[in-house]
Protein backbone atom coordinates (compact mmCIF):
# COMPACT_ATOMS: atom_id res chain seq x y z
CA UNK A 1 0.00 0.00 0.00
CA UNK A 2 1.15 3.53 -0.64
CA UNK A 3 0.84 6.44 1.78
CA UNK A 4 -1.72 8.09 -0.51
CA UNK A 5 -4.00 5.02 -0.35
CA UNK A 6 -4.13 5.11 3.45
CA UNK A 7 -5.63 8.60 3.21
CA UNK A 8 -7.94 7.79 0.32
CA UNK A 9 -9.26 4.58 1.86
CA UNK A 10 -9.70 5.98 5.35
CA UNK A 11 -11.06 9.52 5.09
CA UNK A 12 -12.44 9.13 8.63
CA UNK A 13 -8.94 9.15 10.09
CA UNK A 14 -8.71 12.84 10.83
CA UNK A 15 -5.98 12.87 13.46
CA UNK A 16 -2.69 12.25 11.74
CA UNK A 17 0.47 11.81 13.74
CA UNK A 18 4.07 11.41 12.81
CA UNK A 19 6.28 9.93 15.48
CA UNK A 20 9.90 8.90 15.56
CA UNK A 21 13.27 9.58 17.10
CA UNK A 22 14.80 13.03 17.11
CA UNK A 23 15.77 14.49 13.78
CA UNK A 24 14.31 11.85 11.47
CA UNK A 25 11.99 14.28 9.68
CA UNK A 26 8.71 14.21 11.61
CA UNK A 27 8.11 17.92 11.24
CA UNK A 28 8.99 17.95 7.55
CA UNK A 29 6.62 15.07 6.83
CA UNK A 30 3.87 16.68 8.89
CA UNK A 31 4.22 19.85 6.83
CA UNK A 32 4.29 17.98 3.51
CA UNK A 33 1.25 15.88 4.43
CA UNK A 34 -0.65 18.98 5.51
CA UNK A 35 0.26 20.66 2.23
CA UNK A 36 -0.88 17.68 0.18
CA UNK A 37 -4.20 17.39 2.02
CA UNK A 38 -4.83 21.14 1.71
CA UNK A 39 -4.24 20.87 -2.01
CA UNK A 40 -6.89 18.11 -2.13
CA UNK A 41 -9.33 20.70 -0.79
CA UNK A 42 -9.30 19.60 2.85
CA UNK A 43 -9.11 22.15 5.63
CA UNK A 44 -5.98 21.28 7.57
CA UNK A 45 -4.26 22.37 10.77
CA UNK A 46 -0.71 21.20 11.26
CA UNK A 47 0.52 21.86 14.75
CA UNK A 48 3.55 21.18 16.79
CA UNK A 49 3.68 20.16 20.42
CA UNK A 50 7.44 19.84 20.43
CA UNK A 51 9.34 22.72 22.04
CA UNK A 52 12.16 22.07 19.56
CA UNK A 53 9.86 21.89 16.58
CA UNK A 54 10.59 23.88 13.53
CA UNK A 55 7.38 24.48 11.63
CA UNK A 56 8.51 28.08 11.78
CA UNK A 57 11.67 27.23 9.79
CA UNK A 58 9.88 24.93 7.39
CA UNK A 59 7.15 27.39 6.47
CA UNK A 60 9.50 30.37 6.82
CA UNK A 61 6.89 32.10 8.99
CA UNK A 62 7.05 33.05 12.65
CA UNK A 63 4.46 30.74 14.21
CA UNK A 64 5.64 30.29 17.79
CA UNK A 65 2.85 30.95 20.29
CA UNK A 66 0.76 32.84 17.71
CA UNK A 67 -2.19 30.45 17.45
CA UNK A 68 -3.21 29.05 14.05
CA UNK A 69 -1.52 31.02 11.24
CA UNK A 70 -2.83 30.75 7.71
CA UNK A 71 -0.12 29.51 5.35
CA UNK A 72 -2.16 29.15 2.16
CA UNK A 73 -5.70 28.19 1.13
CA UNK A 74 -7.00 25.46 3.47
CA UNK A 75 -3.73 25.25 5.38
CA UNK A 76 -3.06 26.56 8.89
CA UNK A 77 -0.04 25.98 11.09
CA UNK A 78 0.42 26.41 14.82
CA UNK A 79 3.26 26.07 17.29
CA UNK A 80 2.19 25.76 20.91
CA UNK A 81 4.22 27.79 23.39
CA UNK A 82 4.16 25.43 26.39
CA UNK A 83 5.95 27.85 28.73
CA UNK A 84 3.48 30.61 28.15
CA UNK A 85 0.62 28.15 28.50
CA UNK A 86 1.97 27.15 31.92
CA UNK A 87 2.49 30.75 33.02
CA UNK A 88 -1.05 31.76 32.07
CA UNK A 89 -2.41 28.72 33.84
CA UNK A 90 -0.47 29.49 37.05
CA UNK A 91 -1.82 33.02 36.97
CA UNK A 92 -5.38 31.70 36.69
CA UNK A 93 -4.81 29.50 39.75
CA UNK A 94 -3.41 32.45 41.74
CA UNK A 95 -6.33 34.66 40.74
CA UNK A 96 -8.80 31.97 41.75
CA UNK A 97 -7.21 31.70 45.20
CA UNK A 98 -7.30 35.48 45.66
CA UNK A 99 -10.95 35.67 44.54
CA UNK A 100 -12.13 32.72 46.60
CA UNK A 101 -10.69 33.96 49.88
CA UNK A 102 -10.51 37.70 49.26
CA UNK A 103 -6.78 37.72 49.92
CA UNK A 104 -4.52 40.61 48.83
CA UNK A 105 -1.66 38.20 48.11
CA UNK A 106 -1.16 34.45 47.68
CA UNK A 107 0.16 32.97 50.98
CA UNK A 108 3.84 32.12 50.82
CA UNK A 109 3.42 28.41 51.37
CA UNK A 110 0.91 28.19 48.55
CA UNK A 111 3.05 30.30 46.23
CA UNK A 112 6.01 28.00 46.91
CA UNK A 113 3.90 25.03 45.96
CA UNK A 114 2.81 26.65 42.70
CA UNK A 115 6.44 27.34 41.82
CA UNK A 116 7.64 23.87 42.76
CA UNK A 117 4.88 22.08 40.88
CA UNK A 118 5.66 24.03 37.74
CA UNK A 119 9.32 23.07 37.71
CA UNK A 120 8.60 19.37 37.73
CA UNK A 121 9.56 17.61 34.51
CA UNK A 122 6.09 16.17 34.01
CA UNK A 123 4.58 19.66 34.01
CA UNK A 124 5.49 20.55 30.46
CA UNK A 125 4.25 17.29 28.96
CA UNK A 126 0.97 17.47 30.83
CA UNK A 127 0.55 21.12 29.83
CA UNK A 128 1.25 20.32 26.18
CA UNK A 129 -1.13 17.40 26.00
CA UNK A 130 -3.75 19.45 27.80
CA UNK A 131 -3.33 22.28 25.30
CA UNK A 132 -3.79 19.78 22.48
CA UNK A 133 -7.24 18.94 23.79
CA UNK A 134 -8.22 22.60 23.33
CA UNK A 135 -6.71 22.77 19.85
CA UNK A 136 -8.55 19.67 18.71
CA UNK A 137 -11.86 20.51 20.43
CA UNK A 138 -12.10 24.13 19.33
CA UNK A 139 -11.16 23.95 15.68
CA UNK A 140 -13.31 22.91 12.78
CA UNK A 141 -10.66 21.42 10.54
CA UNK A 142 -11.04 18.32 8.41
CA UNK A 143 -7.61 17.14 9.44
CA UNK A 144 -5.37 17.70 12.44
CA UNK A 145 -1.75 16.89 11.84
CA UNK A 146 0.26 16.37 14.97
CA UNK A 147 3.93 16.88 14.83
CA UNK A 148 4.49 14.67 17.82
CA UNK A 149 7.07 15.03 20.55
CA UNK A 150 9.84 12.42 20.47
CA UNK A 151 8.68 8.87 21.15
CA UNK A 152 9.72 8.72 24.79
CA UNK A 153 7.49 11.64 25.76
CA UNK A 154 4.46 10.25 24.00
CA UNK A 155 4.93 6.87 25.64
CA UNK A 156 5.39 8.51 28.99
CA UNK A 157 2.16 10.41 28.56
CA UNK A 158 0.21 7.35 27.46
CA UNK A 159 1.36 5.28 30.41
CA UNK A 160 0.67 8.25 32.66
CA UNK A 161 -2.89 8.44 31.33
CA UNK A 162 -3.46 4.78 32.21
CA UNK A 163 -2.14 5.10 35.73
CA UNK A 164 -3.90 8.39 36.41
CA UNK A 165 -7.22 7.19 35.14
CA UNK A 166 -7.18 4.44 37.75
CA UNK A 167 -5.86 6.80 40.40
CA UNK A 168 -8.43 9.48 39.79
CA UNK A 169 -11.14 6.84 40.01
CA UNK A 170 -9.90 6.02 43.48
CA UNK A 171 -9.70 9.65 44.58
CA UNK A 172 -13.13 10.32 43.17
CA UNK A 173 -14.49 7.43 45.19
CA UNK A 174 -12.92 8.78 48.37
CA UNK A 175 -14.43 12.15 47.59
CA UNK A 176 -17.85 10.60 47.14
CA UNK A 177 -17.53 8.81 50.48
CA UNK A 178 -16.63 12.11 52.10
CA UNK A 179 -19.74 13.55 50.62
CA UNK A 180 -21.86 10.81 52.16
CA UNK A 181 -20.56 11.72 55.61
CA UNK A 182 -21.31 15.34 54.97
CA UNK A 183 -24.86 14.52 53.94
CA UNK A 184 -25.30 12.36 56.99
CA UNK A 185 -24.30 15.25 59.26
CA UNK A 186 -26.66 17.55 57.42
CA UNK A 187 -29.49 15.13 57.95
CA UNK A 188 -28.71 14.69 61.65
CA UNK A 189 -28.65 18.45 62.06
CA UNK A 190 -31.75 18.77 59.91
CA UNK A 191 -29.98 21.21 57.63
CA UNK A 192 -30.95 21.83 54.07
CA UNK A 193 -28.98 20.57 51.09
CA UNK A 194 -25.23 20.23 51.47
CA UNK A 195 -23.14 22.46 49.28
CA UNK A 196 -22.11 21.19 45.89
CA UNK A 197 -18.70 19.55 46.05
CA UNK A 198 -16.58 21.67 43.75
CA UNK A 199 -13.56 19.45 44.24
CA UNK A 200 -15.49 16.46 42.98
CA UNK A 201 -16.44 18.45 39.91
CA UNK A 202 -12.80 19.39 39.32
CA UNK A 203 -11.75 15.75 39.63
CA UNK A 204 -14.31 14.70 37.07
CA UNK A 205 -13.08 17.51 34.79
CA UNK A 206 -9.46 16.35 35.15
CA UNK A 207 -10.42 12.77 34.44
CA UNK A 208 -12.26 13.87 31.34
CA UNK A 209 -9.29 15.92 30.08
CA UNK A 210 -6.75 13.11 30.58
CA UNK A 211 -9.06 10.60 28.94
CA UNK A 212 -9.78 12.89 26.01
CA UNK A 213 -6.13 13.60 25.26
CA UNK A 214 -5.10 9.97 25.65
CA UNK A 215 -8.21 8.98 23.74
CA UNK A 216 -7.17 10.97 20.68
CA UNK A 217 -3.88 9.07 20.61
CA UNK A 218 -5.60 5.71 20.79
CA UNK A 219 -8.78 6.19 18.74
CA UNK A 220 -8.75 3.39 16.21
CA UNK A 221 -11.27 4.92 13.85
CA UNK A 222 -10.16 8.54 13.78
CA UNK A 223 -6.42 8.35 14.30
CA UNK A 224 -3.55 7.24 12.10
CA UNK A 225 -0.08 7.08 13.59
CA UNK A 226 2.90 6.93 11.24
CA UNK A 227 6.41 6.09 12.29
CA UNK A 228 9.17 7.99 10.56
CA UNK A 229 12.56 6.34 10.39
CA UNK A 230 15.79 6.42 8.48
CA UNK A 231 17.68 3.36 7.25
CA UNK A 232 20.23 3.16 10.03
CA UNK A 233 20.66 0.30 12.48
CA UNK A 234 20.15 2.30 15.66
CA UNK A 235 17.07 4.13 14.44
CA UNK A 236 15.46 0.94 13.13
CA UNK A 237 15.99 -0.81 16.47
CA UNK A 238 14.59 2.09 18.45
CA UNK A 239 11.59 2.38 16.17
CA UNK A 240 10.73 -1.31 16.41
CA UNK A 241 11.05 -1.20 20.17
CA UNK A 242 8.80 1.87 20.32
CA UNK A 243 6.31 0.28 17.93
CA UNK A 244 5.90 -2.69 20.25
CA UNK A 245 5.29 -0.39 23.23
CA UNK A 246 2.86 1.77 21.26
CA UNK A 247 0.95 -1.33 20.23
CA UNK A 248 0.64 -2.26 23.91
CA UNK A 249 -1.01 1.09 24.57
CA UNK A 250 -3.39 0.54 21.64
CA UNK A 251 -1.99 3.28 19.44
CA UNK A 252 -3.29 2.55 15.93
CA UNK A 253 -0.10 2.30 13.89
CA UNK A 254 -0.95 2.97 10.24
CA UNK A 255 2.49 2.33 8.80
CA UNK A 256 6.07 3.44 8.37
CA UNK A 257 7.67 6.09 6.21
CA UNK A 258 11.37 5.81 5.47
CA UNK A 259 13.29 9.05 5.09
CA UNK A 260 16.76 9.95 3.79
CA UNK A 261 17.16 7.11 1.33
CA UNK A 262 20.16 7.88 -0.89
CA UNK A 263 18.93 8.04 -4.52
CA UNK A 264 19.86 4.75 -6.15
CA UNK A 265 20.44 6.19 -9.62
CA UNK A 266 23.62 7.70 -8.22
CA UNK A 267 25.10 4.22 -8.55
CA UNK A 268 25.15 4.67 -12.34
CA UNK A 269 27.47 7.60 -11.95
CA UNK A 270 31.06 7.74 -10.96
CA UNK A 271 30.63 8.18 -7.20
CA UNK A 272 33.20 7.88 -4.42
CA UNK A 273 33.65 4.64 -2.50
CA UNK A 274 32.29 6.33 0.63
CA UNK A 275 28.91 6.91 -0.94
CA UNK A 276 28.83 3.38 -2.44
CA UNK A 277 29.33 1.97 1.04
CA UNK A 278 26.55 4.14 2.46
CA UNK A 279 24.23 2.85 -0.26
CA UNK A 280 25.21 -0.77 0.49
CA UNK A 281 24.60 -0.17 4.20
CA UNK A 282 21.16 1.31 3.51
CA UNK A 283 20.35 -1.59 1.16
CA UNK A 284 21.11 -4.07 3.89
CA UNK A 285 18.99 -2.25 6.46
CA UNK A 286 16.15 -1.84 3.99
CA UNK A 287 16.22 -5.57 3.25
CA UNK A 288 15.98 -6.34 6.99
CA UNK A 289 13.21 -3.80 7.39
CA UNK A 290 11.26 -5.29 4.50
CA UNK A 291 11.64 -8.76 5.97
CA UNK A 292 10.25 -7.53 9.30
CA UNK A 293 7.51 -5.07 8.31
CA UNK A 294 7.62 -5.08 4.51
CA UNK A 295 3.95 -4.48 3.81
CA UNK A 296 3.75 -1.61 6.28
CA UNK A 297 6.41 0.55 4.62
CA UNK A 298 4.23 3.12 2.87
CA UNK A 299 6.75 5.44 1.29
CA UNK A 300 10.48 5.80 0.76
CA UNK A 301 11.64 9.36 0.60
CA UNK A 302 15.02 10.21 -0.85
CA UNK A 303 17.62 12.35 0.82
CA UNK A 304 16.89 15.78 -0.66
CA UNK A 305 19.63 17.87 -2.20
CA UNK A 306 18.73 20.87 -0.03
CA UNK A 307 16.77 21.82 3.10
CA UNK A 308 13.03 21.41 2.93
CA UNK A 309 11.98 24.96 3.72
CA UNK A 310 9.48 27.13 1.91
CA UNK A 311 6.39 26.03 0.00
CA UNK A 312 8.11 25.05 -3.30
CA UNK A 313 10.34 22.51 -1.52
CA UNK A 314 7.41 21.28 0.58
CA UNK A 315 5.45 20.76 -2.61
CA UNK A 316 8.31 18.78 -4.12
CA UNK A 317 8.52 16.57 -1.07
CA UNK A 318 4.74 16.07 -0.92
CA UNK A 319 4.72 14.97 -4.57
CA UNK A 320 7.33 12.32 -3.76
CA UNK A 321 5.60 11.13 -0.57
CA UNK A 322 2.15 10.91 -2.15
CA UNK A 323 3.18 9.73 -5.63
CA UNK B 1 -47.42 31.40 77.33
CA UNK B 2 -46.74 33.72 74.44
CA UNK B 3 -45.90 32.44 70.97
CA UNK B 4 -42.29 33.43 71.40
CA UNK B 5 -41.95 31.58 74.65
CA UNK B 6 -43.62 28.52 73.13
CA UNK B 7 -41.18 28.64 70.24
CA UNK B 8 -38.08 28.91 72.42
CA UNK B 9 -39.35 26.12 74.65
CA UNK B 10 -39.91 23.91 71.63
CA UNK B 11 -36.48 24.88 70.38
CA UNK B 12 -34.94 23.83 73.70
CA UNK B 13 -36.70 20.47 73.58
CA UNK B 14 -35.56 19.95 70.00
CA UNK B 15 -31.97 20.76 70.89
CA UNK B 16 -32.01 18.53 73.95
CA UNK B 17 -33.30 15.60 71.94
CA UNK B 18 -30.73 16.32 69.23
CA UNK B 19 -28.00 16.50 71.90
CA UNK B 20 -29.05 13.19 73.41
CA UNK B 21 -29.61 11.30 70.23
CA UNK B 22 -27.56 12.68 67.42
CA UNK B 23 -24.89 15.07 68.57
CA UNK B 24 -22.29 12.41 69.25
CA UNK B 25 -23.05 10.71 65.98
CA UNK B 26 -22.72 13.87 63.98
CA UNK B 27 -19.51 14.74 65.82
CA UNK B 28 -18.06 11.33 65.01
CA UNK B 29 -19.12 11.72 61.40
CA UNK B 30 -17.48 15.13 61.20
CA UNK B 31 -14.27 13.73 62.64
CA UNK B 32 -14.19 10.97 60.09
CA UNK B 33 -14.95 13.51 57.41
CA UNK B 34 -12.03 15.66 58.57
CA UNK B 35 -9.65 12.70 58.55
CA UNK B 36 -10.74 11.86 55.05
CA UNK B 37 -10.17 15.45 54.07
CA UNK B 38 -6.57 15.14 55.22
CA UNK B 39 -6.12 11.86 53.46
CA UNK B 40 -7.52 13.49 50.36
CA UNK B 41 -5.09 16.37 50.56
CA UNK B 42 -2.23 13.95 51.09
CA UNK B 43 -3.01 12.04 47.92
CA UNK B 44 -3.69 15.08 45.77
CA UNK B 45 -1.22 17.58 47.17
CA UNK B 46 1.39 15.05 48.25
CA UNK B 47 4.06 17.06 46.46
CA UNK B 48 3.99 19.43 49.39
CA UNK B 49 5.58 16.66 51.42
CA UNK B 50 7.64 15.47 48.48
CA UNK B 51 5.34 12.67 47.32
CA UNK B 52 4.19 13.36 43.77
CA UNK B 53 1.03 11.45 42.98
CA UNK B 54 -1.31 13.44 40.79
CA UNK B 55 0.19 15.10 37.68
CA UNK B 56 1.24 18.53 38.97
CA UNK B 57 -0.52 20.25 36.11
CA UNK B 58 -3.84 18.96 37.41
CA UNK B 59 -3.13 19.09 41.12
CA UNK B 60 -2.78 22.86 40.69
CA UNK B 61 -6.44 22.93 39.67
CA UNK B 62 -7.40 21.56 43.09
CA UNK B 63 -5.08 23.85 45.03
CA UNK B 64 -7.51 26.78 45.45
CA UNK B 65 -10.04 24.57 47.24
CA UNK B 66 -7.65 23.26 49.85
CA UNK B 67 -5.84 26.49 50.74
CA UNK B 68 -7.51 26.79 54.20
CA UNK B 69 -6.75 23.17 55.08
CA UNK B 70 -3.09 23.27 54.17
CA UNK B 71 -1.77 24.68 57.45
CA UNK B 72 -3.80 22.37 59.70
CA UNK B 73 -2.99 19.52 57.41
CA UNK B 74 0.75 19.96 57.73
CA UNK B 75 0.43 20.10 61.51
CA UNK B 76 -1.55 16.91 61.49
CA UNK B 77 0.93 15.14 59.24
CA UNK B 78 3.73 16.02 61.65
CA UNK B 79 1.96 14.60 64.67
CA UNK B 80 3.06 11.17 65.82
CA UNK B 81 -0.32 9.64 65.35
CA UNK B 82 -1.02 8.14 61.96
CA UNK B 83 -3.88 9.46 59.82
CA UNK B 84 -5.05 5.91 59.42
CA UNK B 85 -5.47 5.70 63.22
CA UNK B 86 -8.05 8.39 63.07
CA UNK B 87 -9.76 6.76 60.13
CA UNK B 88 -10.19 3.19 61.27
- Distance, in Å, from the CA atom of A53 to the CA atom of A22, rounded to the nearest integer, reads 10
B58 vs A209: CB contact, 8 Å cut-off?
yes
Smallest Cα distance from A100 to chain B, Å: 8
Q: Average pLDDT, stretch A187-193?
A: 73
B64 vs A109: CB contact, 8 Å cut-off?
no
B55 vs A160: CB contact, 8 Å cut-off?
yes
Smallest Cα distance from A97 to chain B, Å: 5
Cβ contacts from A onto B, under 8 A: 108
Q: Average pLDDT, stretch A145-154?
A: 75
Classify the phi-psi angles of A190: left when phi > 0, otherwise alpha if psi is within -120 to 50, otherwise beta.
left
B58 vs A126: CB contact, 8 Å cut-off?
yes
What ipTM was assigned to the predicted interfaces of this complex? 0.71
Smallest Cα distance from B80 to chain A, Å: 22
Q: For residue A6, is pLDDT > 90?
A: yes
Confidence of residue B19 (pLDDT cuts 50, 70, 90): confident
Smallest Cα distance from B61 to chain A, Å: 7
- % of chain A surpassing 70 pLDDT: 96
Confidence of residue A53 (pLDDT cuts 50, 70, 90): low
A189 vs B57: CB contact, 8 Å cut-off?
no
pLDDT 10s digits, A208-233: 888 887 788 788 899 999 999 999 99
A181 vs B53: CB contact, 8 Å cut-off?
no
Query: pLDDT value at position A116?
Result: 82
Q: For residue A247, is pLDDT > 70?
A: yes
Q: For residue B80, is pLDDT > 60?
A: no
Find the closest chain A residue to B15 by CA distance: A189
Per-domain boundaries in chain A: 3-85+120-151+224-321
Q: Average pLDDT, stretch A290-318?
A: 92
Of the partner residues A117, A177, A199, the one whose CB lies closest to the CB of residue B60: A117
Query: pLDDT value at position A94?
Result: 95
**Chain A residues near residue B51 by CB distance under 8 angstroms:** none
**Chain A residues near residue B57 by CB distance under 8 angstroms:** 86, 89, 117, 122-123, 126-127, 130
B65 vs A117: CB contact, 8 Å cut-off?
no
Of the given ranges (A281-290, A304-313, B35-44, B59-68), which has the lowest mean pLDDT? B35-44
- Distance, in Å, from the CA atom of A157 to the CA atom of A149, rounded to the nearest integer, reads 10
**Chain A residues near residue B25 by CB distance under 8 angstroms:** 188
Query: pTM to 2 decimals?
Result: 0.78
Q: By the 8 A CB rule, do A58 and A31 touch? A: yes
Query: pLDDT value at position A1?
Result: 83
- Distance, in Å, from the CA atom of A294 to the CA atom of A256, rounded to the nearest integer, reads 9
Q: What is the gyration radius of the CA atoms in chain A, in angstroms?
A: 24
Smallest Cα distance from B86 to chain A, Å: 14
Q: Average pLDDT, stretch A249-270?
A: 91
Of the residues A88, A108, A179, A199, the best mutation for testing chain B's interface (the one with the most B CB atoms within 10 Å of its CB) is: A199
Query: pLDDT value at position A4?
Result: 94
Query: pLDDT value at position A69?
Result: 95
Of the residues B34, B48, B64, B83, the best mutation for testing chain A's interface (the one with the most A CB atoms within 10 Å of its CB) is: B64
DSSP conformation letters of B14-49: HHHHHHHHTHHHHHHHHHHHHHHHHHHHHHHSGGGG
Query: pLDDT value at position A280?
Result: 94
A178 vs B68: CB contact, 8 Å cut-off?
no
Could you tell me which CATH number the domain at A3-85+120-151+224-321 has?
A: 3.40.50.300
Q: Average pLDDT, stretch A184-197?
A: 74
Q: Which residues contact B78 (CB under 8 A, 6 or more apart)?
A: none
Query: pLDDT value at position B41?
Result: 78
- β pairing state of A75-79 and A44-48: parallel
Of residues A60, A59, A62, the one with CA closest to residue A75: A59
Amino acid sequence: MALKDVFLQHPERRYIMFGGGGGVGKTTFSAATAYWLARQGKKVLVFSVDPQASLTDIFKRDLFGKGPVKIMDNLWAQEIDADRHIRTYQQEIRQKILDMYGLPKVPEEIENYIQAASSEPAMEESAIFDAVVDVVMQGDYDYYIYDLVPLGHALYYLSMANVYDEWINKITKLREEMREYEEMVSRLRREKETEQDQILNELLYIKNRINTSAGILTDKTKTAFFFVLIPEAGVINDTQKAARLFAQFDVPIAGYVVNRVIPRDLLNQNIPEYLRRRVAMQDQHMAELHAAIGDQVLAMVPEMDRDVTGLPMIEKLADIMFA
Amino acid sequence: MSDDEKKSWLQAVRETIYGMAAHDMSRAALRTRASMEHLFILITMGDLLGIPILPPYYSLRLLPYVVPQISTWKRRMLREKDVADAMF
